[in-house]
């Protein structure tokens, strides 16, 4: 006879306040972000395709934007099936979702890493285009006969695009492969096991944290130190400094343009407002990225340094907020 343990979390009673909080944040707001974010990513893919591929402009940046939209969409739906669907359907102990959770957990980590480094790649390309625009244009150019054929065909994303622009897909593919390799341990952090559900009086599947995830060395060196370099502080530093430097380069190029050409007052005001808008948008994107992406890393530090202890309830609140911020940033 096989003896089954009681499923984890069966005896834990959550307050009515948290139940309402989880329903709003994990359920309603997260689902809204997933739907709107997916629609926005689909429209961005179409816009980038029609504007860049069919007109043969900025193909390298367009490919990176397509990869970012793809990984962001995967991340959004991983978030929905990870915790959004449980809150919407009011079934936190769903056996089907618990069986899927270990895989969703790993794929969400992969998508998050790939998405972050796609943003880094786009930031680097913007910096290179600002520093040396003629070199970037020259490398993005396609053969004349290709452009002639492109004018004759209707806009459609076919395998012809992949054959023409296949060399531009190398960086996103390499980033995706590296993201998968980096997050292989995530497949072994959570496992679903058959256990006894006391309230229902039946067997079901519960989620258990593996010994690997609980290992002190793993939490310190992989979850904190390694991920700090490849998923938090490292990418954040690259994005921050390159964006600041790009803003300075844009200011310098706009100043040189004003000195080179005689401009009317209205045209000068237009350039000034455009420059101010570029600076504000760049800084807002950097601040939003740093703020929303860094919270999950701070939770890893909290877990390693202080543990849960008597602050488990506060930790759960912060985890839910961090998950929502990640989905909001993706949207």
Instruction: Give the per-residue pLDDT at 25.
Output: 84
pLDDT at 153 over 80: no
pLDDT at 137 over 60: no
Instruction: Give the per-residue pLDDT at 224.
Output: 83
Instruction: Give the per-residue pLDDT at 274.
Output: 60
Phi, psi of 101 (to 5 degrees): -55, -45
pTM reported for the whole predicted model: 0.78
Instruction: Give the per-residue pLDDT at 152.
Output: 46
Q: How confident is the model at residue 156 (pLDDT cuts 50, 70, 90)?
A: very low
pLDDT at 53 over 60: no
Residue of 287, 98, 328 whose CA lies nearest to 190: 98
In this structure, which long-range contacts are made by residues 130-137, counting pairs with CB atoms below 8 Å and at least 24 apart in sequence? 130/246, 130/249, 130/250, 130/253, 131/249, 136/60
Domains along the sequence of the chain with CATH:
16-214+310-330 (1.20.1070)
Determine the average pLDDT of the residues in 53-61: 59
Sequence-distant (6+) residues with CB within 8 A of 250 are 130, 275, 278, 279
User: Using CA atoms, how far apart are residues 55 and 169, in angstroms rounded to an integer?
Assistant: 18
pLDDT at 191 over 70: yes
Instruction: Give the per-residue pLDDT at 102.
Output: 94
Determine the average pLDDT of the residues in 157-179: 73
pLDDT at 279 over 50: yes
User: Using CA atoms, how far apart are residues 78 and 98, in angstroms rounded to an integer?
Assistant: 13
* CA 206 distance to own-chain centroid: 28
**Apex 99 CA angle, 95 and 101, nearest 5:** 110
Instruction: Give the per-residue pLDDT at 217.
Output: 92
Helix and strand numbers (H, E) in the chain are: 15, 2
pLDDT at 41 over 90: no
In this structure, which long-range contacts are made by residues 31-37, counting pairs with CB atoms below 8 Å and at least 24 apart in sequence? 31/80, 31/84, 31/88, 33/76, 33/79, 33/324, 33/327, 33/328, 33/330, 33/331, 34/76, 34/77, 34/79, 34/80, 34/84, 34/327, 34/331, 36/331, 37/72, 37/73, 37/76, 37/327, 37/330, 37/331
User: Hey, which residues does 206 pair with through a beta bridge?
Assistant: 193
pLDDT at 229 over 70: yes
Q: DSSP per residue over 241-267, as a string?
A: HHHHHHHHHHHHHHHHHHHHS---HHH
More confident residue, 291 or 239: 239
Residue of 48, 56, 178 whose CA lies nearest to 122: 48
3-class DSSP state of 183: coil
More confident residue, 52 or 212: 212
More confident residue, 120 or 48: 120
User: Using CA atoms, how far apart are residues 231 and 186, in angstroms rounded to an integer?
Assistant: 14
Residue of 313, 329, 321 whose CA lies nearest to 296: 321
pLDDT at 280 over 50: yes
Q: How confident is the model at residue 187 (pLDDT cuts 50, 70, 90)?
A: very high
Determine the average pLDDT of the residues in 5-31: 77
pLDDT at 106 over 90: yes
pLDDT at 8 over 50: yes
* Buried-exposed string 270-293: b where 16+ CB fall within 10 A, e elsewhere: ebeeebeeebeebeeebeebeebb
Calculate the average pLDDT of the chain: 76
Distance linking the first and last C-alpha atoms of the chain: 50
């Amino acid at each position: 006879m096989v003896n089954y343990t009681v499923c984890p979390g069966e005896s834990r009673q959550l307050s009515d306040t948290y139940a309402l909080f989880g329903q709003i944040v994990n359920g309603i707001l997260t689902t809204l972000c997933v739907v709107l974010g997916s629609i926005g990513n689909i429209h961005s893919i179409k816009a980038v395709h029609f504007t860049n591929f069919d007109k043969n402009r900025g193909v390298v940046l367009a490919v990176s934007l397509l990869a970012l939209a793809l990984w962001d969409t995967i991340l959004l739906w991983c978030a929905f099936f990870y915790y959004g669907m449980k809150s919407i359907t009011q079934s936190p102990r769903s056996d089907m979702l618990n069986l899927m959770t270990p895989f969703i957990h790993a794929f969400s980590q992969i998508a998050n890493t790939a998405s972050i480094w796609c943003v880094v790649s786009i930031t680097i390309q913007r910096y290179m285009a600002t520093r040396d625009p003629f070199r970037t244009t020259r490398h993005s150019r396609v053969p004349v006969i290709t452009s002639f054929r492109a004018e004759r065909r209707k806009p459609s994303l076919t395998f012809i695009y992949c054959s023409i622009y296949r060399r531009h897909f190398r960086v996103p593919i390499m980033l995706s492969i590296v993201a998968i390799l980096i997050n292989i341990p995530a497949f072994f952090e959570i496992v679903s096991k058959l256990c006894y559900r006391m309230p229902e009086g039946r067997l079901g599947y519960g989620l258990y944290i593996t010994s690997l995830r609980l290992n002190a060395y793993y939490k310190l060196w992989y979850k904190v130190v390694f991920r700090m370099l490849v998923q938090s502080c490292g990418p954040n530093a690259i994005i921050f400094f390159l964006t600041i430097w790009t803003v300075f380069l844009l200011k310098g190029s706009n100043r040189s343009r004003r000195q080179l050409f005689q401009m009317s007052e209205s045209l000068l005001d237009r350039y000034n407002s455009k420059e101010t808008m570029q600076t504000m948008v760049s800084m807002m994107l950097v601040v939003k990225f740093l703020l929303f992406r860094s919270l999950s890393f701070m939770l890893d530090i909290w877990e390693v340094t202080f543990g849960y202890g008597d602050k488990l309830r506060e930790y759960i609140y912060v985890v839910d907020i961090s998950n929502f911020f990640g989905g909001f940033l993706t949207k």
